[in-house]
Amino acid sequence: MLIIPAIDLQDGAVVRFVQGKLDKKIYSRDPLKTAKHWVRQGAAMLHVVDLDGAFSGGPKNLAIVKEIIKSINIPVEFGGGVRNMELIKELVSVGVGRVILGTKAIEDNSFLKKAFAKFKEKIIISIDSKDDNLLVKGWQSTHKGLGVVEFVQQLKEIGFEEIIYTDITKDGTLVGPNIKGIKNLLKQTGMKIIASGGISSLADLAKLKLMEKQGVTGIIIGKALYEGKFTLKEALKYS
């Protein structure tokens, strides 16, 4: 099971939001230094999100992301405003290990199928949910029509085998992940899940580790690491 540190970028800084709201805390003005720190601590992958891109519809921190990729020797999964095929191609060409798609994948089924056909294992879909509703455009809007389970079932039919799942009501809160929601999604879809949102303690990691056989393949951790609730080295004991 992968333990994946998160680096959320806004205006060139490493930040964390709470429940997707625009009030933020800045943890570093040097994202490259942060990335190198997590590599030294033993990370096998980094989860990097361009929050400016998620809100505006196009990445704003690509130069930083490219610098990170050139400077470290582990894969980087990256998302935030990736909404066309040309950008996916560019990101893959500069070394992004896995491109994260969200809004465009949810809103445009034709694009989703084309992206999978062309890039397959180079893309992963991020599901941001609130009360079983899909959130889009940087969590600012609720997608009308599809529920979370229905959309994940569609992804499975297309050929996807793994998703990132975030309960936005938990994200950045340090109150623990939505175990019930993750279990429900695993049971109803059989999709492999990288769990994100709300991780607060090593006990949370232990709970998710117990769900590895059911399909939890990774855990993205942000605020708990930045707030020193535990170290990455401690977390990696659950990998």
132 flagged as catalytic: no
Type and span of the H or E element at 189: helix 179-189
Q: Nearest to residue 181, comparing CAs of 142, 153, 208? A: 208
Contacts with 98 (C-beta within 8 Å, 6 or more apart), sequence order: 75, 77, 78, 121, 122, 123, 124
User: Pick the catalytic residue: 8, 52, 167, 204?
Assistant: 8
Q: What are phi and psi of 151, to 5 degrees?
A: -65, -45
Long-range own/partner contacts, residues 56-60 (CB < 8 A, 24 or more apart): 56/81, 57/81, 57/83, 57/103, 57/137, 58/83, 58/87, 59/87
128 flagged as catalytic: yes
User: Pick the catalytic residue: 50, 128, 167, 204?
Assistant: 128
Catalytic positions are 8, 128
